[in-house]
Amino acid sequence: MKPSSKSRPTAFVTLLSAALVVVATAAQAPQNAQRPAAAATPPPPPAYPAPTNLKVLPKNLTGQQVHDIMKQWNGELGVRCGACHAEDPGIVTTDGPARPALAEDSKALKEIARLMYTMTEQINTNYIVRVAGSSMPVTCSTCHRGNIGPEPFTIQPAGGPPPVQAPPSLEERPQPQ
């Protein structure tokens, strides 16, 4: 079947109309065509300097390890770095908190923290390991529970809820030899 000469102009007009619709639609599309973005690399993790002036923590800890310990203590005591560390006047920041002088020993709470750390290490090493079935070490949060001062212990009234963690009964305790 041979197309009629009358249908060619109609086909041409239809094709031309479709092309105009495509061009008009493309012209109205946002002009900020996105190029394939290179894989965005996340910023490098902060580098923590090698610790100096460690008096009770192991001397072979990295800056990251000491930072992680301090972050844990911050949560267990409900404090920020400035509780134990003085500001370093030599480090000027344009925004954010002042940088702490980590090695400086001018704040009394830093010495108290060292004393308390030594105490918990002695409790865990000399006593907790001797309690049968005790696998949980003493930490700052054992007593402080998110507060700078230890939480006072209160005896539950008779008929009240039992303590969260009761010591083993006398029968379960190891007897001195």
Q: How confident is the model at residue 173 (pLDDT cuts 50, 70, 90)?
A: very low
For residue 154, being part of any structural domain is answered with: no
All residues at 6 or more sequence positions from 82 whose CB lies less than 8 Å from its CB, including other chains? 97, 98, 100
For residue 127, being part of any structural domain is answered with: yes
pLDDT at 36 over 50: yes
For residue 29, being part of any structural domain is answered with: no
* pLDDT given at position 175: 47
For residue 109, being part of any structural domain is answered with: yes
All residues at 6 or more sequence positions from 153 whose CB lies less than 8 Å from its CB, including other chains? none
What is the C-alpha to C-alpha distance for residues 11 and 13, in angstroms, rounded to an integer?
5
Least confident of 106-110, 140-144, 153-157, 172-176: 172-176
SS3 of 164, please?
coil
Number of folded domains in the chain? 1
* pLDDT given at position 139: 94
Q: How confident is the model at residue 74 (pLDDT cuts 50, 70, 90)?
A: very high
pLDDT tens string 122-140: 999 999 988 888 888 999 9
Least confident of 86-90, 112-116, 159-163: 159-163
For residue 97, being part of any structural domain is answered with: yes
- For residues 33 and 73, is the Cβ–Cβ distance under 8 A? no
For residue 21, being part of any structural domain is answered with: no
C-alpha radius of gyration, the chain, whole number: 35
Taking the model in full, what pTM does it have? 0.61
For residue 134, being part of any structural domain is answered with: yes
From the number of C-beta atoms within 10 Å of its C-beta (0-12, 13-18, 19+), residue 102 rates as buried
For residue 124, being part of any structural domain is answered with: yes
Ranges of H-type helices in 86-162: 108-126, 140-143
SS3 of 87, please?
strand
Which one-letter DSSP state was computed for residue 83?
G
Least confident of 30-34, 91-95, 140-144: 30-34
Q: How confident is the model at residue 143 (pLDDT cuts 50, 70, 90)?
A: very high
Residue found by looking up tokens 């003493």 in the block? 138
- Give the domain extent around 86: 63-143
